[in-house]
A = this chain, B = another copy of it.
């Protein structure tokens, strides 16, 4: 096809052959071979003139399109392999959507505009499973225990703070400690959804010898806040969610507040070459 395009552009066998870095005889034979395999006369030639037939005209346009597609495919596959292009499936737990995800996505999209970020908002346990199965390339989640098969990088540290309805006995005064939670109806996501948070809450209570009483166990942090707003209990939620609380809800600092990591993680065996830049961006964020 390149031979034919060269011939069509020069209309001269010798010059076209030179452009293809070969001598004229094999070039002529190649053109003849193309015509034979196609069973179609592409160029009308005598020893003095070379002209395209109508079929040749049409074929020229098609050849250019095919060759351009071919070259683009070869170029793109290198970009994909270099992580400059392609797709990246990024999972994240819901509350990260309100803290690190927006900045991370923005920075990454600036660094890799041709990588299509596919955002998957899931609960932490699902994220873990999807990472293991390769259905996610990377994820932003809680920093759980050491996971040897995961590359992990700290993005942020967060801490729990207490939210109570306005007018609640803990809504003012000294910062609350774990013992303040005695007798309170707690609202928290179930352990199957966010084990890290749940464990942190349980440990915090246990440090004061308290057995927490969970009145409701919704899955979404926003639901928790709403329930607190309605006076149905109190909750310990990540501080990053306390920025713009609804009316009627008060956030309080906790004494010795439980802290936890928000990390970016990806399978070490992951093959997506677009992932490393995500860690680079996360390090700068």
Interface residues, chain A, with chain B CB atoms under 8 Å away: 1, 38-42, 44, 53-55, 58-59, 62-63, 65-66, 69-70, 72-74, 76-78, 80-81, 85-87, 271-274
Contact = CB atoms under 8 A, between A and B. Distances in A.
B54 A80 contact: yes
Given A86-B54, A273-B55, A72 B78 contact: no
Contact of A54 (B58, B73, B78, B271): B271
Contact of A58 (B39, B58, B86, B271): B86
Contacts of A41: 81
B271 A44 contact: yes
B38 A77 contact: yes
A187 B273 CA distance: 80
A124 B1 CA distance: 41
A121 B42 CA distance: 30
Contact of A62 (B39, B53, B77): B77
A72 B69 CA distance: 13
A79 to B, nearest CB: 9
Contacts of A73: 59, 62-63, 65-66
